[in-house]
A and B are shown apart, each in its own frame.
Chain A
Amino acid sequence: MSTARIFVPNDATALACGADRVARTLAEALAARGTEARIVRNGSRGLFWLEPLVEVETPAGRVSYGPVKPSDIPALLDAGMLEGKDHPLCLGLVEEIPYLKKQTRLTFARCGIIDPLSLDDYKAHGGYKGLAKAVEIGPSATVEEVFQSGLRGRGGAGFPTGIKWRTVAATSADQKYIVCNADEGDSGTFADRLIMEADPFCLIEGMTIAGLAVGATKGYVYCRSEYPLSLAVMDKAIAIARKAGLLGDNVLGSGLSFDMEMRMGAGAYVCGEETALLESLEGKRGVVRAKPPLPAIKGLFQKPTVINNLISLATVPVILEKGGAFYRDFGMGRSRGTMPIQLAGNIKHGGLFETAFGISLGELVNDIGGGTASGRPVKAVQAGGPLGAYLPVHQFDTPFDYEAFAAKDALIGHGGIVVFDDTVDMAHMARFAMEFCAHESCGKCTPCRIGSTRGKETLDKIMAGERREANLAILTDLCHTMKLGSLCALGGFTPYPVMSALTHFPEDFGASPKLPMAAE
């Protein structure tokens, strides 16, 4: 038998759960036993509750063990882990784990399988076929393919990516840019992070395709500073791609040039908003710009700019490789393709679940996610990050679809679902939403800057039982003003978590459950 390959994940979650110590202990144990085996540091499959999830290559496929602690290593080796033999931590063939088997992995097809920094691995698993196709069919057919796929922006607003690209392609300028929004500030999300750490070339390929399609020669990835590992992996991957002639002049012999670099944010949530992000990239305060002009016309340094969420861009290679029609065939209604849904918070099986649109919230939380980690009943989930609504259990029949969520005053956003058990105090969460808005406001509009602070103070009074009915009316009114008078969704959407908490859980606000909620 050839040297066994053992995979120990290297993404931030696996590391936070001790994967480095597992890898070190394993290497020492193998050396001490004189056993030949090669440890490969893969990304992660995204089955985070099982991390560190160690996999061993066998003739039957990759057999998995997890969650592994360093102290488990001797027993695992004794049990015959290297031959994929049984042990209490053995989970069988990783591809057969129901959580993974039930997924439709298009954007995340390679995550956890390959060595993230091996270009050979990347190419052996379909990498750079999308770019080859784009070079073959040319810029306008590439834009059309993306349009035909029905792909909508995965950063939150759900705007059709193909239309955005058409605008930039049709605008002539001496310089155009591709900007990747990797600010991923929403609590409960980690999809961007996982691509950067587990399949970085996928983002590079997606941005290169975007560049060739719209005539942009320079790309920036704006990555939040809370992701130092992502930044480091991406920097390495970019250098490797450049050396291999996949970035720079004459990409893939196409005669076209495209290059890109990483830029680090500095802890401002509002810099995820696209125009604030552009300001920040220009070296300024991250203050939101008024639109128009659209970034597609006047974006970075006033030049036509495609600014897309990381997942939007990382989905482009598979769309080009397999065709827009292939991608469009997944999903429901106007939500086409797949979405990497991120199950987080108080959930038993937390992780990334990529699936076609249309699956119900209840199926995600209860069947896939296994309910709460605490074992207590679910009380609510917050979908779509800090600006997304809280949904109670009686709305769990809502299908995961942009329009179905919007119809319930809720957001899909970037696909994060944060689960709370029955110990959560929803008035406290409403207060947090206001406090977060006050903390992160860029300061441009009064309803956001001042209103959020007033909202927090009003909630303090409500929670202290001070003039409840009057203060609830003030809060409702304040939310109304914020919705109408804010330039961007930070001030404009903070009312959603606040009002949904109040509407569905009035008892947590000390109100009688029948309080009329006129504004909602």
Chain B
Amino acid sequence: MHQAGYEPWSAERASQIIETHRDMAGAAMPILHAIQEAFGFVPEPVVPMIAESLNLSRAEVHGVVTFYHDFRREPPGRHVIKLCAAEACQSMGSDALSDYAQERLGLEMGETSADGRVTLEPIFCLGLCACAPAAMIDGRLVGRLDRETIDELVAEANR
């Protein structure tokens, strides 16, 4: 859940993770989640390792990684701000807040700042639709967003 403090890539660590999950039914998803939790993203060299361990082709594993929006191919920023872009949040003005956040951070949706400090991305519903607009920063939930809370999130991300 926390963006800070990811481990540096290590093939040894990756095979350890694969080993602990490989006997689960349908192991590919739990393995990919565990890899991303450790390294912050799914590094390319892990794909053939998973393929070999689960007796799948590289193409199959690659297909799984690329199908799901959650799996990152690049490291995220040290802070990740996710702004909800789904309908209930739109009804409470999330589009304008998203423009404001992009302007404040100098980032487009889906971008990571050049200094690796912060990633800004959309998310489609956090289940907080009764206290919209909603966001998540480094795993923490924030509801009833307004410009002031966006300013606080930006300040937190710049710390």
Interface residues, chain A, CB within 8 Å of chain B? 12-13, 15-17, 48-49, 51, 184-190, 193, 225-229, 263-269, 280-287, 301, 342-347, 350-352, 373, 382, 386, 416, 418-421, 424, 429, 432, 436
Cβ-defined contact, A350 with B129, below 8 A: yes
- Chain B residue numbers with a CB within 8 Å of A266 are 29, 32-33, 68-71
A16-B130 contact, Cβ under 8 Å, with A185-B124, A187-B125, A418-B91: no
B90 to chain A, nearest CB (A): 7
Q: Is B1 an interface residue (CB 8 A)?
A: yes
- Chain A residue numbers with a CB within 8 Å of B54 are 283
Query: Contact mask B114-140 → A, CB, 8 Å, 1/0?
Result: 000000000111111111101000010
Q: Point out the residue from A185, A283, A429 that lies within 8 Å of B28, measured CB to CB.
A: A283
Q: Is B92 an interface residue (CB 8 A)?
A: yes
- Chain A residue numbers with a CB within 8 Å of B11 are none
Cβ-defined contact, B68 with A386, below 8 A: no
B76 to chain A, nearest CB (A): 14
Tell me the count of chain B residues lying within 8 A, CB to CB, of chain A.
41
Interface-located stretch among B12-20, B100-108, B141-149, B151-159: B141-149
Distance between Cα atoms of A226 and B68 in the complex (Å)? 13
Between-chain CB contacts (< 8 Å), 17 pairs: A12-B127, A12-B141, A13-B130, A13-B131, A16-B142, A16-B143, A17-B131, A184-B127, A187-B125, A226-B123, A226-B125, A263-B30, A265-B68, A344-B88, A416-B129, A418-B87, A418-B129
A16-B128 contact, Cβ under 8 Å, with A283-B28, A344-B88: yes
Distance between Cα atoms of A196 and B153 in the complex (Å)? 28
The 6 lowest CB-CB distance pairs between A and B, nearest first, are: A350-B130, A283-B28, A16-B143, A266-B68, A187-B86, A344-B129
- Chain A residue numbers with a CB within 8 Å of B63 are 285
Q: What is the chain B residue whose CB lies nearest that of A268?
A: B68
- Chain A residue numbers with a CB within 8 Å of B90 are 429, 432
Distance between Cα atoms of A419 and B129 in the complex (Å)? 10
A282-B26 contact, Cβ under 8 Å, with A187-B86, A187-B129, A190-B127: yes
A190-B129 contact, Cβ under 8 Å, with A283-B64, A432-B87: yes
Cβ-defined contact, A345 with B92, below 8 A: yes
- Chain B residue numbers with a CB within 8 Å of A16 are 126, 128, 131, 134, 141-144
Cβ-defined contact, B130 with A189, below 8 A: no
Q: What is the chain B residue whose CB lies nearest that of A196?
A: B127
- Chain A residue numbers with a CB within 8 Å of B127 are 12-13, 184, 189-190, 193, 226-227
Q: Is B4 an interface residue (CB 8 A)?
A: no
Given contacts A284-B64, A386-B86, A416-B88, 7 further A-B contacts (CB under 8 A): A187-B86, A225-B33, A264-B30, A264-B33, A345-B92, A416-B129, A429-B87
- Chain B residue numbers with a CB within 8 Å of A420 are 91
A12-B88 contact, Cβ under 8 Å, with A17-B131, A266-B70, A267-B69: no
A345-B70 contact, Cβ under 8 Å, with A187-B86, A187-B125, A283-B64: no
Distance between Cα atoms of A188 and B130 in the complex (Å)? 7
B101 to chain A, nearest CB (A): 17
Q: Point out the residue from A189, A267, A269, A386 that lies within 8 Å of B129, measured CB to CB.
A: A189
Cβ-defined contact, A280 with B29, below 8 A: yes
- Chain A residue numbers with a CB within 8 Å of B130 are 13, 48-49, 190, 342-344, 347, 350-352
Q: Point out the residue from A228, A283, A419, A429 that lies within 8 Å of B29, measured CB to CB.
A: A283
Q: What is the chain B residue whose CB lies nearest that of A280?
A: B29
